[in-house]
Amino acid sequence: MRVIVTIQHPGHVHFFKHAIRELESLGHDLYVFARENEVTVELLERAEIDHEVLAGESNSLFSLAAVQATYETRLLRRARRIKPDVITAIGGVAASHVASVVGAKSVVFYDTEHATIIKKLAYPFADIVCTPECYRGDIGSKQVTYPGYHELAYLHPDRFEPDPSVLDDTGLTPSDTIVVMRLSSWDSSHDLGQGGFDDPIDIVDRLEDVGSTVLLTSEVELPSELESYRYNLAPDRIHDLLAYADCFVGEGATMAAEAAVLGTPAVYVNSLALGYVTELDQTYGLVFSYNGADRHVKSIERAISIIEENDQSKWQRRRDRLLEDQIDVTDVIVQQVETATAEADPDHSALAPNLG
């Protein structure tokens, strides 16, 4: 088959990278198209994935619409030349639109229930929409559900083993108490009007008061007081650091889930709740989610209690339970792409048991 993969966010690189290699090893022709967004292109280059950049970055919701239109127009031109059998993406606005024009099947993966604009633009045109079982919402007969999270496409133990050299490279030792902290930009269409920490400087100060070493990743410019805390190794090594951290505290759901599936307790601070974050919280106890007006204070209290308790065996047991229930999501990607051109099953959900 000829398969187009569209990449519009750094997380999409992680999600698809193993599936791209597996599909190529099975003899399929893969074409990867991307737009510049944070470290997306750098991650593609470091993963040695051949790709073409179709559009630049955006710095506002208005410019995002213009960039998206440029990306979709250029993707359509390439697809008409390639004549793909399948186009796949996370979110899938451009993928589903272009596939419907060129006669390809579109396979869309998504896990963000509150992304209303993306869902309205993508789902009606998509042939298959794959979501975790914990996704809150019925998409109809085109929905395929599976027991897993996007993060298990690249952080499942069959796909990832942390590199301990990350500690030396960040000037840390195994005896240090390490907290990874994430600040979000809040400029995505589904983040407008939302928020997280009241004051990130206060968070860092309080964590240091209990003996933690804090490393910051941020989508926004940091206050001068926090610049020295910035994580500045290669972007794909953040997962090594998360695996050896004692706690994650942040506004980003993806990184909270990444920490959780690695067995690092995560404190998620965001006015929005998500199905997969809620499951990681309520079912597995690996995420502590704070969404209300008191989220800043409550999150600090929780992070400090995790650090002071210092019970690594508890988090490992919880991770082991999670891995017993959930699957390697790269297998889902490969299976769905390979079967997308088969005659449509009237009840796609019947495929779900095979994904376990």
- What average pLDDT score do residues 109-131 get? 94
Residue 249 has pLDDT above 90, yes or no: yes
Q: How many CB atoms lie within 10 A of CB 350?
A: 10
Return the residue matching tokens 């964590």: 207
**φ/ψ of residue 131, rounded to 5:** -135, 155
Summarised one tens digit per residue, pLDDT across range 158-188 is: 999 999 999 999 999 999 999 999 997 645 5
- What average pLDDT score do residues 102-122 get? 94
pLDDT band at 350 (very low <50, low <70, confident <90, very high): very low
The rounded distance, in Å, linking the Cα atoms of 332 and 255 is 21
Return the residue matching tokens 């210092």: 310
**Taking the complete model, does pTM exceed 0.85, yes or no?**
yes
Summarised one tens digit per residue, pLDDT across range 314-344 is: 999 999 999 999 999 999 999 999 999 764 3
Instruction: Using alpha carbons only, give the angle 304, 307, 311 rounded to the nearest 5 degrees.
Output: 135
Write the CA distances from 347 to 130, 340, 351, integer angstroms: 13, 14, 8
The rounded distance, in Å, linking the Cα atoms of 127 and 341 is 10
**φ/ψ of residue 8, rounded to 5:** -125, 10
Give the residue among 287, 272, 282 at the shortest CA–CA distance from 115.
Answer: 272
For residue 46, the surrounding DSSP H or E stretch is helix 40-46
Q: Hey, what are 347's tokens?
A: 């009840």
**φ/ψ of residue 296, rounded to 5:** -65, -50
The rounded distance, in Å, linking the Cα atoms of 191 and 114 is 9
Q: Taking the C-alpha atoms of 225, 229, 230 and 234 in order, what is their torsion angle to the nearest 10 degrees?
A: 160
pLDDT at 57: 86
How is the beta sheet containing 212-218 ordered, strand by strand? 212-218, 177-183, 247-250, 266-269, 287-290
pLDDT at 353: 39
Query: Is domain 165-325 given the CATH code 3.40.50.2000 in the classification?
Result: yes
pLDDT at 195: 54
Summarised one tens digit per residue, pLDDT across range 183-240 is: 976 455 444 444 568 889 999 999 999 999 999 998 888 889 999 999 999 999 999 9
Summarised one tens digit per residue, pLDDT across range 10-57 is: 999 999 999 999 999 999 999 999 999 989 999 999 999 999 999 998
Summarised one tens digit per residue, pLDDT across range 59-87 is: 776 788 889 999 999 999 999 999 999 99
Task: Provide CATH 3.40.50.2000 ranges for the chain.
Answer: 2-156+327-355, 165-325
- Check: CB of residue 105 under 8 Å from CB of residue 127: yes
List, in order, residues 6 or more apart from 1 with CB less than 8 Å away.
28, 29, 84, 85, 86, 337, 338, 341
Q: Taking the C-alpha atoms of 100, 101, 102 and 108 in order, what is their torsion angle to the nearest 10 degrees?
A: -30
Write the CA distances from 19 to 129, 283, 332, integer angstroms: 17, 28, 9
pLDDT at 355: 58
Q: Hey, what are 344's tokens?
A: 């449509």
* Eight-class DSSP state of 211: T
pLDDT band at 346 (very low <50, low <70, confident <90, very high): very low
Q: Taking the C-alpha atoms of 170, 171, 174 and 175 in order, what is their torsion angle to the nearest 10 degrees?
A: -130
**Domain 2-156+327-355 is of which CATH architecture?**
3-Layer(aba) Sandwich (3.40)
Amino acid at 54: L
